[in-house]
């Protein structure tokens, strides 16, 4: 069987919002290589071209193939009866594992798996072991790594959130249940009864069949495959609708995972954050470091390589030559130096000041130590106000209009992604 890089590119791009625009074919080829190695495939027959939405259907075949070949990577049987669902208690911060296995955007290299394991063990040692992954991250590799690390650590107190990819070809509630069981297998390489998924989320809305997904999510919960359910990239109307549908079955919508950072404030501006609070839906803020741009390590002269270069151009080469962004960084530096902390902690504590749970990505022990260290202190009200004012002057680094997530369900006319 042949999995071409374009197929993987489209598949991955569908989950990364505007970042997708920065994915290159070279990176896609590397992910394909890892994918082929991971799932024991040979060259073959999926060959969609980029740029055509219909290709999502074909590309989705890659994920289907990966799942079909799961027994190659996991020995656990498909779980049937697992322990009863229980309520979710999340720490004040989690760790994002998108980069753990993803070579397309993050240039993942398996040689660095030990670094990732160190991050994992550090979070466990701090009692902050809450990891966010997805079946799409590295086409299953991120989940497999987390399953492996958890198994090797022998520690039970690890919470893992993963996500169902709402790809266009998936149209039935049973697609959600099947994907959930496949994720469970990757997360449970050990023999014996699999540990249920702590939080199972719909990664992003689809343009149709969203109600079927909610039904599938409810089934996963009722079967005890997962302990709690959530959504991601859901706008206000869509979140209210899924909340209502689940509530009718006595199931709480635990979370909405959305992008929020000092460089992406839409959920505050359009009322999404307030709507989550009103429904008692916890917000997991993703990309809280704006993909690393809020850590202070990049400036007009020092830019990241790879897909993030385009974002650097937008930030530093815009009409104001980066003046507003530099203004924000100056305010952040002032606060950081007052507290004697790295800049990343200021960025993370700003998202915490908005009553959200940030899930920053970390690829090294140093990054994880710095990021989790944000929990040792809080911003003052004046500092939050100063950051609000400085960040309001900076145009968002990514435009929601460029997001590939469907804005509307074409059948129900429900507004889906709207930030
Ligand atoms: N639901 C969704 O659609 C969605 C979308 C995106 C992300 N997410 C989730 O959110 C998580 C976090 O978001 P993200 O990974 O996109 O972006 P992020 O957390 O804003 O940035 C993470 C990156 O910043 C750099 N970094 C992290 N800590 C640092 C530190 N202390 N000092 C310097 N650099 C540091 C690292 O990259 P370098 O070392 O390369 O600079 C790291 O990979 C993801 O892993 C994923 O779980 C979800």
Read off the pLDDT of residues 218-277 as tens digits, 9 standing for 90 and up. Answer: 999 999 999 999 999 999 999 999 999 999 999 999 999 999 999 999 999 999 999 999
Query: How many other C-beta atoms can be found within 10 angstroms of the C-beta atom of residue 282?
Result: 19
Enumerate the β-bridge partners of residue 240.
Answer: none
Q: Is the pLDDT of residue 17 over 70?
A: no
**264, 397 contact by CB (below 8 A):** yes
pLDDT of residue 10: 41
Q: What's the CATH class of domain 95-402?
A: alpha beta
Q: Is the pLDDT of residue 100 over 70?
A: yes
Q: How far is the CA of 10 from the centre of ligand 1 (A)?
A: 21
Q: Does any ligand 1 atom lie closer than 6 A to the CB of residue 136? A: no
Q: How far is the CA of 96 from the centre of ligand 1 (A)?
A: 6
Q: Does any ligand 1 atom lie closer than 6 A to the CB of residue 255? A: no
Q: Looking at the CA of residue 371, tell me the nearest atom of ligand 1.
A: 31
Q: What distances in angstroms separate CA 381 from CA 126, 273, 284, 354, one per listed residue?
A: 27, 19, 22, 11
- Residues belonging to the active site: 137
Q: Measuring from atom 26 of ligand 1, which residue has the nearest CA?
A: 292
Sorting pLDDT into bands at 50, 70 and 90, what band is 112?
A: very high
Q: Is 307 exposed, middle or buried (0-12, 13-18, 19+ CB in 10 A)?
A: buried
Quote the pTM value: 0.87
pLDDT of residue 31: 56
Angle of CA points 107, 112, 118, to nearest 5° = 125
Q: Which residues of 216-225 are buried (b: 16+ CB within 10 A; e: fewer)?
A: bbbbbbebbb
Q: Does any ligand 1 atom lie closer than 6 A to the CB of residue 202? A: no
Sorting pLDDT into bands at 50, 70 and 90, what band is 99?
A: very high
Q: Looking at the CA of residue 288, tell me the nearest atom of ligand 1.
A: 20
Per the rule left: phi > 0, alpha: psi between -120 and 50, beta: everything else, 40 is left
Q: Looking at the CA of residue 289, tell me the nearest atom of ligand 1.
A: 20
**48, 6 contact by CB (below 8 A):** yes
Q: How far is the CA of 286 from the centre of ligand 1 (A)?
A: 8
SS3 163: strand
Instruction: Locate the domains of the chain by residue range.
Output: 5-72, 95-402
Q: Measuring from atom 14 of ligand 1, which residue has the nearest CA?
A: 287
Mean pLDDT estimate for the chain: 85
């Amino acid at each position: 069987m042949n999995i071409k890089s374009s197929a993987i590119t489209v598949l991955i791009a569908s989950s990364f919002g505007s970042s997708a625009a920065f994915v290159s074919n070279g990176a896609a080829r590397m992910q394909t290589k890892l994918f082929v190695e991971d799932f024991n495939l040979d060259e073959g027959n999926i060959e969609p071209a980029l740029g055509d939405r219909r290709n999502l259907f074909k590309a989705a075949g890659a994920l289907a193939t990966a799942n079909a070949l799961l027994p190659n990577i996991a020995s656990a049987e498909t779980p049937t009866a697992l322990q009863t669902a229980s309520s979710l208690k999340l720490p004040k911060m989690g760790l994002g594992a998108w980069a753990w296995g993803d070579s397309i955007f993050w240039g993942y290299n398996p040689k660095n798996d030990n670094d990732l394991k160190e991050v994992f063990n550090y979070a466990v040692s701090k009692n902050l072991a809450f990891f966010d992954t997805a079946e799409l991250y590295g086409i299953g590799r991120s989940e497999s790594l987390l399953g492996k690390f958890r198994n090797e650590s022998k520690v039970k107190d690890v919470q893992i959130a993963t996500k169902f990819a709402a790809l266009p070809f998936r149209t039935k509630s049973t697609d959600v249940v099947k994907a959930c069981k496949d994720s469970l297998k990757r997360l449970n390489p050990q023999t014996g009864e699999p540990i249920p998924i702590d939080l199972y989320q719909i990664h992003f809305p689809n343009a149709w069949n969203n109600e079927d997904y909610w039904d599938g999510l409810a089934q996963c919960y009722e079967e005890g495959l997962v302990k709690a359910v959530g959504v991601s990239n859901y706008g206000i109307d869509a979140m209210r609708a899924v909340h209502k549908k689940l509530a009718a079955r006595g199931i709480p919508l635990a979370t909405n995972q959305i992008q929020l950072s000092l460089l992406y404030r839409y959920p505050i501006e359009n009322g999404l954050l307030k709507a989550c609070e009103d429904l008692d839906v916890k917000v997991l803020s993703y990309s809280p470091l704006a993909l690393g741009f809020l850590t202070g390590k990049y400036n007009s002269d020092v830019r990241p390589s790879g897909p993030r270069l385009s974002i650097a151009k937008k930030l530093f080469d815009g009409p104001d030559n980066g003046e507003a962004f530099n203004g924000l960084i100056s305010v952040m530096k002032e606060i950081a130096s007052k507290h004697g902390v790295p800049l990343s902690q200021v960025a993370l504590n700003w998202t915490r000041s908005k009553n959200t749970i940030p899930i920053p990505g970390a690829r090294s022990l140093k990054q994880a130590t710095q990021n989790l260290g944000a929990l040792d202190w809080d911003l003052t009200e004046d500092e939050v106000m100063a950051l609000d004012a400085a960040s309001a002057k900076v145009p968002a680094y990514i435009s929601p209009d460029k997001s590939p997530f469907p804005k509307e369900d074409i059948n129900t006319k429900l507004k889906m992604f709207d930030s």
